[in-house]
Amino acid sequence: MKYMGSKNRFAKELLPIILKDRKLDQWYVEPFSGGCNMIDKVQGRRLASDKNEYLMEMWYDLTQDHMFIEDIDKDRYNRARTEFNNDINEEFTM
């Protein structure tokens, strides 16, 4: 998945360093999962985490048998995007 701040292009170099001391059956915990471009390349027990609760909810829902809205027009997308961005900006306003 394309995601701002993606580690996908660095995964080949980063993962050997990160996984070097990982023991058999040890959990791999990804604290900044974003587009899950690192964790998808790790075998075994894995746990994804991210501060963006909406993103984590999306990943969770994709692993479940939920029904999704198939038709999202540009207007609906823009309204959701504006609402999301306003929530983010309000959270970090000083």
Range of the domain at 32: 8-68
pLDDT in tens, 43-72: 999 999 999 999 899 888 888 876 666 778
Residues above pLDDT 90, as percent of the chain: 34
Asked if the structure places residue 50 within a domain, the reply is yes
88 is a domain residue: no
Q: Is the pLDDT of residue 92 over 60?
A: no
pTM over 0.75: no
Express each pLDDT in 70-84 by its tens digit.
778 889 889 988 988
Which residue, among 42, 45, 79, 47, has the nearest Cα to 60 in the 3D structure?
47
Q: Is residue 49 part of a domain?
A: yes
Terminal CA-CA length for the chain: 32
Amino acid 67: pLDDT: 66
Over residues 31-49, the mean pLDDT reads 90
Residue 84 resides in a domain: no
3-state secondary structure the chain: CCCCCCCHHHHHHHHHHHHCCCCCCCCEEECCCCCCCCHHHCCCCEEECCCCHHHHHHHHHHHCCCCCCCCCCHHHHHHHHHHHHHHHHHHHCC
Question: Are residues 42 and 15 in contact, defined by beta-carbon separation less than 8 angstroms?
Answer: yes
In-domain check, residue 73: no
Report how many domains make up the chain. 1
